[in-house]
């Protein structure tokens, strides 16, 4: 799939713009604060229902409006059919439309429009807490495993109910009523995640080797002591769970540990190396998705030059293009790479919130 048309209204300084991107590479260039990143933010919003820059929607909506709107036409390569996606987001309401029909779940948008991002904050996937790496795993699972979303929702719902019982500060009896259901959901969710990581690891090692000449060790940490069953972990921690008012162990504490020569990569890699490793992680996911579901992704690359020298920039773009993804790359320098070298490419200039295709 690829975006054939994008309409954006009231997203930061983008009041009313339309672009018809190429299925391949789209270079977006202009001065800082011209609106380049806002364009990527709008596409991300249409897939994820939220910004990658802030949780404050007011700062995303233009000062002259109370809502923002993003619409797009998505072309399915295999069938040639066109899907119309729309998102209106305000301070107190959201409206999602797919083919002129109202829907309530943002996940429906994500299913039609898989979007990944590589930006100057890419290192946070490695440096920040386990929740970021769980989201990384779950993004991939959502797109390749039909049962994942329901399994994840079930586990999350039961976990909230158990935590509510724990907050009553009773001797654990009420909380234990949820243990059987929590264990069943945990086992299914953990197995899905573990299997996905096993399948993804060869792709990650291949792209890591091609980008930074390493083959990292990837380990899935389940969220409770490896030597114990989840049932045993819950039983042994019930007193502390009651004391703290929440469930200390479970898939909601899972993590992805990535090491090189026995050391965590975030402790020894430079920012540039971390960005390349995260890029390898994204490439692994979109390639796995393409091979498993014959579905292409959209990749947003914000400020390609940040932290990367010329040779690594060109290598990354080559691998992204090779992946078959539709690319949107921002830069302050239009000569960053030659778009004419690519069979399917367009260039857009952004100035004061206006986007113009460069012929």
CATH number at residue 319: 3.40.50.300
Q: Which residue has the tokens 């009420």?
A: 174
Same domain, 256 and 335: no
The structure tokens listed for 25 are 């590479």
What Cα–Cα distance (Å) separates residue 210 from each residue in 53, 136, 199? 29, 21, 18
> Does any domain span residue 258?
yes
> Does any domain span residue 119?
no
Q: Which residue has the tokens 């994008």?
A: 6
> Does any domain span residue 233?
yes
> Does any domain span residue 123?
no
Same domain, 280 and 357: no
Quote the pLDDT of residue 171.
62
Same domain, 166 and 78: no
Quote the pLDDT of residue 32.
92
Same domain, 139 and 267: yes
Name the DSSP class of 269.
-
Return the axis-axis angle of helices 271-293 and 179-212, rounded to nearest 10°.
110
Quote the pLDDT of residue 148.
97
The structure tokens listed for 212 are 């930074």
Quote the pLDDT of residue 342.
74
Last residue of a domain, one of 264, 295, 326: 295
Quote the pLDDT of residue 63.
92
Same domain, 110 and 137: no
Same domain, 146 and 251: yes
Query: What does each of the 359 residues of the chain score in pLDDT, given as a tens digit?
Result: 899 999 999 999 999 999 999 999 999 999 999 999 999 999 999 999 999 999 999 999 999 999 999 999 999 877 778 999 999 999 888 999 999 999 999 999 999 999 999 999 999 999 998 999 999 999 999 999 999 999 999 999 999 999 999 998 766 568 889 999 999 999 999 999 999 999 999 999 999 999 999 999 999 999 999 999 999 999 999 999 998 999 999 999 999 999 999 999 999 999 999 999 999 999 999 999 999 998 999 999 999 888 888 899 989 999 998 999 999 999 998 887 776 667 789 999 999 999 999 98
CATH number at residue 135: 1.20.1050.90
Quote the pLDDT of residue 103.
93
> Does any domain span residue 312?
yes
Same domain, 279 and 342: no
Same domain, 152 and 288: yes
Last residue of a domain, one of 295, 314, 338: 295
Same domain, 149 and 92: no
341: left (phi over 0), alpha (psi -120 to 50) or beta: alpha
Same domain, 166 and 291: yes
Quote the pLDDT of residue 304.
86
Last residue of a domain, one of 278, 295, 312: 295
E-state strands within 82-155: 82-90, 94-98, 101-103, 115-118
Q: Give the structural domain span for 356.
A: 1-114+298-359
> Does any domain span residue 287?
yes
Number of domains composing the chain:
2
Quote the pLDDT of residue 340.
66
Same domain, 222 and 320: no
pTM for the predicted model, two decimal places = 0.94
> Does any domain span residue 122?
no
Same domain, 108 and 75: yes
What is the rounded end-to-end Cα distance, in angstroms, of the chain? 24
């Amino acid at each position: 799939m690829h975006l054939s048309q994008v309409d954006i209204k009231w997203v930061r300084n983008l009041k009313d713009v339309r672009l018809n991107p190429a299925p391949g590479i789209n270079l977006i260039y202009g001065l800082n604060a011209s609106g380049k990143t806002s364009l990527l933010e709008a596409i991300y919003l249409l897939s994820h229902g939220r910004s990658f820059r802030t949780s404050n929607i007011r700062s995303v909506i233009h000062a002259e409006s109370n809502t923002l709107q993003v619409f797009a036409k998505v072309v399915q390569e295999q069938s040639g059919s066109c899907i119309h996606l729309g998102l209106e987001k305000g301070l107190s309401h959201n409206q999602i439309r797919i083919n002129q029909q109202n829907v309530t779940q943002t996940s429906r948008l994500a299913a039609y429009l898989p979007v990944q991002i590589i930006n100057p904050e890419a290192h946070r996937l490695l440096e920040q807490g386990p929740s970021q790496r769980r989201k990384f795993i779950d993004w991939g699972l959502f797109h390749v495993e039909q049962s994942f979303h329901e399994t994840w929702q079930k586990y999350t719902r039961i976990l909230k109910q158990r935590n509510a019982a724990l907050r009553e500060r009773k001797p654990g009896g009420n909380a234990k009523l949820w243990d059987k259901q929590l264990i069943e959901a945990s086992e299914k969710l953990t197995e899905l995640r573990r299997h996905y990581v096993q399948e993804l690891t060869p792709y990650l090692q291949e792209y890591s080797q091609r980008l930074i000449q390493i083959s990292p060790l990837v380990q899935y940490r389940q969220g409770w002591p490896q030597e114990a069953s989840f049932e045993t972990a819950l039983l042994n921690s019930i007193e502390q769970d009651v004391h703290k008012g929440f469930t200390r162990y479970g898939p909601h504490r899972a993590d992805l540990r990535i090491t090189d020569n026995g050391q965590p990569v975030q402790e020894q890699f430079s920012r540039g190396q971390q960005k390349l490793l995260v890029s390898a992680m994204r490439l692994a996911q979109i390639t796995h998705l393409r091979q498993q579901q014959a579905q292409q992704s959209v990749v947003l690359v914000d400020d390609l030059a940040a932290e990367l020298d010329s040779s690594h920039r060109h290598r990354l773009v080559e691998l992204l293009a090779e992946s078959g993804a539709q690319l949107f790359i921002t830069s302050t320098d239009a000569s960053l790479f030659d778009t004419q070298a690519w069979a399917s490419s367009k260039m857009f200039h952004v100035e004061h919130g206006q986007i113009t295709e460069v012929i």
